[in-house]
Structure 1
């Protein structure tokens, strides 16, 4: 039996009702990633699953972050253009690059009977959900969960603590120094996040960082320091995204921070080049058979196991299952097994699911995407999981968000949907959040 089977049996026999669980837990989730609601149980991973996923994501990160050197002879600008960035975005990324690719990210995955498969990987400080352990801790306050996790040797990762270690490591903060960090978002989106950001900032204080949320245009650069009012800033935690660079006046707004970072007067966490490795265009490069000779055997094995077929939307022939075929003809004939995605947008924006789209709309959107920064990706068929209700049970489709941090795998954010057809659902558009407990090897 799996851990999930063991849990369901135990919960039916001696556990609190799902409504009682939510009543005890959900009030503690206000102003968090979970938006005050949660799934009625955690997800579970046994030791073998956890170990394999840790290794797979480590090798995936290695393959992604070596794309510039392996495919573009180290030319970061050429890499940026190849994955669909504009010249404005490319210039900012090259200026704002870090000394080494960041480890900070979140891989979003579906799970079927063979294991995990990658939907996308979001790299950089803009990934959401790092406050997810608030749900683990809330569940462990219930005796049933505490007993079950102890019996099965289950644990969880304090994601926020791992993120702090990653910040201190990658920003090269000297040991014993307590940095001041501006959590900087764009002025138009900052008001919606302000309350949650202040709550996150308060969580960082006991971990050794004085965090101050702000809109990025409140930061100034003078006397070789970045300032928020009269407070000197050591680290700028970047919440603004690559698509924000296309907004009018953005480059000018970011100029103080970019100048300071170029001169070594402030650290940006994460540098803008992190966004490149989270582009769906990067996954298309990894998936392309033309570059298979650039990867060692262990990385190829991981790509074959977890990365679905992905290609930039370009006119001409592509390789599909070892055969050459015209991309448009293949996309039209296999519409119900394909997804059309923009390379650099976030949160499911612009995603078109072939199996939920009429043929005329699919063909029109495909033609509009041709030669532009879009990818086609093969559909994944995840296996739904069983969740108890007060009256029986129901099936939920889970998206597993696995965090990458400096120390390896940094915890999980689970998002559940009752749409078993695999629609695009995020926390802000109807998904219900959950957490994960796992066994360590």
Structure 2
């Protein structure tokens, strides 16, 4: 495992930053013309974000090979740690208590697949802290966005004449999902073969009540091109039969990719047959239920960072966790340890140290109700501490995001924005990077955020 401190900014990125700052105070016409050309090319390629523009910025985030390798090794090591955490959840009641919303679902969750890593597809979201350590702040092991479109967007970006990168040698093709647009689909096909020893002939992308359809058309068409009869189906339309899962037309389904919000199906009684079949491995399900509910929940970082569970990890893993996993706890009354391993009463600590903390609903998505303590009034902070008694929240040490100067197409402005770097991991191996930037301290494309192509120099 790699634990070295790495600079977050390359020399090439510093040059891009200087150029963009200069353009912001003088003539930026040619830059906006190039941005508009990129936006048109992205739209013409069929990329979108839930029907709206896919907000890809002309300005890339340039990283060097050393940092790319460091991020790759870090992300792949985290996926291995999630295997340990998954097995720990199945046998440790103290770990199970960190996930109260799923107690009635354990008979589905605890049916672990034989393959490792358990998580076939994920996106690990990260930031660099003040010491230069890359911190994983969310795991996204359910059905993360951008698994196909970000690779395609990087490839399109590389073909647009770009005044910001003139004279620089930047490469996006070192990322597997940019070099091969079929990387994601090939991983699904490979996962099926690894589980069964057979060629994939039929598949379904599963959503629920019409939510989260972004990229579904790309996934369905990609699987069809790979030779599998594939359809988009609602989970409630799936039937469990003696010969396996079938769709409404009676077609046997060999593989399912769950493109849904796992919160929506927690109380959906009509899905019992589907949940049973996936848990019983009557179909190859990507990702399995422990990934959808437990490993994607923000409390999973408490499993990794809480001293109570450190005996389940070896010395190297413990050191790795200290460097790359931020201090995280489920918000509940009681005694624990702070980031310096001093014993504290947690609720009082959260109240008194809000400037250094973030509160997050443990199983929400897209930055919903996330509070950055230093940007939140004491009254609102206390209100959310009280809310945590009714709905699970986690508290996490605040990792201040870095800043870049970027073009923000929706507002036609060139300004400083907060940014992070996320790592896509397919089948335990790095597939590529994503960088999101935003005026909002909680970075999300659904909240006026943008995407910066990540290029390696």
Superposition TM-score, scaled by structure 2 size: 0.82
**Superposed displacement of residue 162, structure 1:** 3.2
Which of 104, 120, 126 is the equivalent residue of 2:121?
Answer: 104
Alignment-derived partner of residue 219 in structure 1: 238
Q: Work out whether residues 359 and 394 of structure 2, in 8 Å CA contact, stay in contact via their aligned partners in 1.
A: yes
**Superposed displacement of residue 92, structure 1:** 3.1
Q: Work out whether residues 185 and 214 of structure 1, in 8 Å CA contact, stay in contact via their aligned partners in 2.
A: yes
CA 389–257 in structure 1, closer or farther in 2 if over 3 Å, else same: closer
Q: Work out whether residues 333 and 346 of structure 2, in 8 Å CA contact, stay in contact via their aligned partners in 1.
A: yes
SS in 2 for 1:415: strand
Q: Work out whether residues 65 and 277 of structure 1, in 8 Å CA contact, stay in contact via their aligned partners in 2.
A: no
Is 219-228 or 270-279 further displaced after alignment?
A: 219-228
Which of 217, 221, 224 is the equivalent residue of 1:198?
Answer: 217
Alignment-derived partner of residue 47 in structure 2: 32
Which of 278, 283, 286 is the equivalent residue of 1:269?
Answer: 286
User: Is it true that 1:342 corresponds to 2:342 in the alignment?
Assistant: no
Query: How far, CA to CA, are the matches of 2:94 and 2:302 in structure 1?
Result: 15
Q: Work out whether residues 84 and 343 of structure 1, in 8 Å CA contact, stay in contact via their aligned partners in 2.
A: no
Is 24-33 or 424-433 further displaced after alignment?
A: 24-33
Matches of residues 328-407 of structure 1 in structure 2 within 5 Å? Answer: 328-370=347-389, 373-387=392-406, 394-407=415-428
Alignment-derived partner of residue 137 in structure 2: 119
Unaligned stretches of 5+ residues in structure 1: none
SS in 2 for 1:233: coil
User: Is it true that 1:21 corresponds to 2:34 in the alignment?
Assistant: yes
Which of 83, 100, 122 is the equivalent residue of 2:99?
Answer: 83
CA deviation string 1:317-337 (max 9, x = no partner): 221112112112211111122
**How many residues end up aligned between the 2 structures?**
426
Alignment-derived partner of residue 229 in structure 1: 248
CA deviation string 1:63-102 (max 9, x = no partner): 2220244x55x5278744433333333333235x422412
**Superposed displacement of residue 434, structure 1:** 2.6
Matches of residues 178-193 of structure 1 in structure 2 within 5 Å? Answer: 178-189=200-211, 193=213
Query: How far, CA to CA, are the matches of 2:192 and 2:310 in structure 1?
Result: 33
SS in 2 for 1:17: helix
Q: Work out whether residues 297 and 362 of structure 2, in 8 Å CA contact, stay in contact via their aligned partners in 1.
A: yes
CA deviation string 1:390-434 (max 9, x = no partner): 999521211322111115111123221123xx2x24222211123
Is 136-145 or 384-393 further displaced after alignment?
A: 384-393
**Superposed displacement of residue 274, structure 1:** 0.9
Superposition TM-score, scaled by structure 1 size: 0.85
Query: How far, CA to CA, are the matches of 1:153 and 1:68 in structure 2?
Result: 36
CA 179–115 in structure 1, closer or farther in 2 if over 3 Å, else same: farther
CA 145–312 in structure 1, closer or farther in 2 if over 3 Å, else same: same
Matches of residues 288-303 of structure 1 in structure 2 within 5 Å? Answer: 288-303=306-321
Q: Work out whether residues 72 and 430 of structure 2, in 8 Å CA contact, stay in contact via their aligned partners in 1.
A: yes
User: Is it true that 1:57 corresponds to 2:57 in the alignment?
Assistant: no
SS in 1 for 2:38: helix
Q: Work out whether residues 280 and 344 of structure 1, in 8 Å CA contact, stay in contact via their aligned partners in 2.
A: yes
Alignment-derived partner of residue 414 in structure 1: 435
SS in 1 for 2:156: helix
Query: How far, CA to CA, are the matches of 1:103 and 1:389 in structure 2?
Result: 33
CA deviation string 1:216-260 (max 9, x = no partner): 12222334132223332211111223312334xx1332x332343
Which of 98, 106, 109 is the equivalent residue of 1:93?
Answer: 109
CA deviation string 1:194-216 (max 9, x = no partner): 7x522442244444544321211
SS in 2 for 1:273: helix
Unaligned stretches of 5+ residues in structure 2: 1-9
Query: How far, CA to CA, are the matches of 2:161 and 2:73 in structure 1?
Result: 33
CA 426–210 in structure 1, closer or farther in 2 if over 3 Å, else same: farther
**Superposed displacement of residue 376, structure 1:** 0.6
User: Is it true that 1:2 corresponds to 2:14 in the alignment?
Assistant: no
SS in 1 for 2:193: coil
**Superposed displacement of residue 107, structure 1:** 0.7
- The RMSD of aligned alpha carbons is 3.2
SS in 2 for 1:187: coil
